[in-house]
């Protein structure tokens, strides 16, 4: 990698995690683009969702995002899609993230180019989110995704939810897509020894930034003077969380860490452990979806290490893997799963 090379990360989420041929076609479309490195393809069967991580120069990353999206729109039919994860389209979300020598403004520009191309050439309604959001209530992706695919035929008719690009005619085959620019997001799930998703969601409500709705003794929401429901904020800033199922026997707290320097992997893990104990549960494993920055692992490693001053980067990463229980479900391979180390391997 040249010192002055401008690199952007893109992490498109495709609503397919079971049809290997479709996933392979998406992968091949990305590999066909010069100056793009495909770092990870995370396939989730139960979520029926595949998360791709790729890095490239500005023009190349846009080309790869457009080409892979077109393949997905062609091969995925949302009318037949079922999965555990919230979703609203065949290509659910396409974020652009600044890496080496790249600015957020550049990523916002590329996200808008993507939205214009896809809405025009594929007839897909596009919503801009994150730093590229054109309206305040579209900054957070869950606000856009609320109602999911099934709710969008009506939602898109609402004047407040007109797409930023494309028509208000709902595309039943492909749904809608969100694109935007953001900082690096860490998708991280912590698994519990219970099959009760409600318990995982209870813990998620305690820790996520948005918290939970306040309720009275009768279990009804409490409203303020403006008739808006009141919320009790969660413990952490820059954290999205919800209760999901890892499989039919294991519930999980599924999270997006939006600023890992402020709210780290070890912070949320240790708090979930404490909340789980209160419910008579325990944390049995964790998993990362996609790749993770080295600094995020080193931060966790310093927390779990007994003697961080004498530890190498490899030692700290090992301490993080062990402390977070990242090696229980599958082997966690640092040189494949840490962005900086994976890029070095890919470019050899």
Q: Report the CATH number at residue 17.
A: 3.30.990.10
CA dihedral 183, 65, 242, 75 (to 10 degrees): 180
Residue-averaged pLDDT of the chain: 92
Q: Note the pLDDT tens digit of each residue in 274-321.
A: 999 999 999 999 999 878 888 899 999 999 998 767 889 999 999 999
Q: Note the pLDDT tens digit of each residue in 12-28.
A: 999 999 999 999 999 99
Q: Considering 138, 165, 181, which residue would you say is the last residue of a domain?
A: 181
Do 244 and 189 touch, CB atoms closer than 8 A?
yes
Annotated active-site residue 335? The verdict is no
How far is Cα 51 from Cα 212, in angstroms, rounded to an integer?
Answer: 28
Q: Note the pLDDT tens digit of each residue in 152-211.
A: 999 999 999 999 999 999 999 999 999 999 988 899 999 999 999 999 999 999 999 999
Give pTM, 2 decimals. Answer: 0.69
pLDDT interval class at 346 (50, 70, 90):
low
Q: Considering 181, 210, 225, which residue would you say is the last residue of a domain?
A: 181
**C-alpha 4 chain-centroid distance:** 28
Q: Are 47 and 95 in the same domain?
A: yes
Is there a domain that residue 3 lies in?
no
pLDDT interval class at 219 (50, 70, 90):
confident
Question: How many structural domains is the chain composed of?
Answer: 2
Element housing 39 (H / E): strand 36-44
In this prediction, what percent of the chain has a pLDDT beyond 70?
97
Q: What is the mean pLDDT of residues 312-334?
A: 94
How far is Cα 208 from Cα 234, in angstroms, rounded to an integer?
Answer: 5
Q: Considering 181, 206, 225, which residue would you say is the last residue of a domain?
A: 181
Coil, helix or strand at residue 259: coil
Out of 45, 81, 85, 262, the active site residue is: 85
């Amino acid at each position: 990698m040249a010192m002055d090379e401008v690199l952007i990360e893109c992490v498109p989420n495709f609503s397919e995690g079971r049809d290997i041929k479709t996933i392979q076609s998406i992968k091949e479309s990305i590999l066909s683009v010069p100056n793009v490195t495909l770092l990870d393809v995370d396939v989730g069967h139960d979520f029926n969702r595949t998360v791709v991580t790729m890095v490239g120069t500005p023009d190349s990353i846009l080309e790869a995002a457009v080409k892979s999206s077109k393949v997905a729109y062609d091969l995925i039919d949302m009318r037949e899609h079922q999965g555990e994860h919230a979703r609203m389209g065949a290509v659910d979300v396409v974020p652009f993230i600044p890496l080496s020598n790249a600015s957020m403004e550049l990523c916002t520009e590329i996200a808008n180019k993507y939205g214009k191309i896809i809405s025009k050439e594929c007839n897909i309604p596009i919503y801009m989110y994150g730093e590229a959001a054109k309206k305040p209530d579209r900054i957070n992706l869950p606000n856009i995704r609320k109602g999911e695919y099934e709710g969008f035929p009506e939602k898109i008719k609402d004047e407040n939810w007109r797409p930023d690009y494309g028509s208000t005619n709902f595309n039943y085959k492909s749904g809608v897509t969100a694109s935007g620019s953001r900082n690096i997001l860490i998708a991280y799930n912590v698994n519990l020894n219970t099959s009760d998703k409600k318990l995982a969601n209870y813990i998620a409500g305690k820790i996520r930034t948005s918290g939970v709705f306040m309720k009275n003794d009768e279990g009804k929401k409490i409203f303020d003077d403006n008739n808006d429901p009141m919320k009790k904020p969660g413990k952490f800033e820059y954290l999205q969380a919800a209760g999901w199922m890892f499989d039919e026997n294991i519930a999980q707290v599924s999270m997006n860490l939006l600023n890992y320097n402020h709210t780290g992997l070890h912070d949320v893990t240790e708090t979930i452990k404490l909340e789980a104990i209160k419910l008579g549960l325990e944390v049995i494993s964790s998993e990362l979806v996609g790749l993770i920055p080295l600094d995020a692992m080193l931060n966790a490693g310093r927390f779990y290490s007994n003697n961080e001053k004498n530890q190498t980067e490899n030692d700290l990463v090992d301490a993080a893997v062990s402390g977070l229980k990242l090696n229980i479900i599958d082997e966690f391979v640092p040189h494949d799963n840490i962005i900086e180390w994976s890029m070095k391997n890919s470019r050899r």
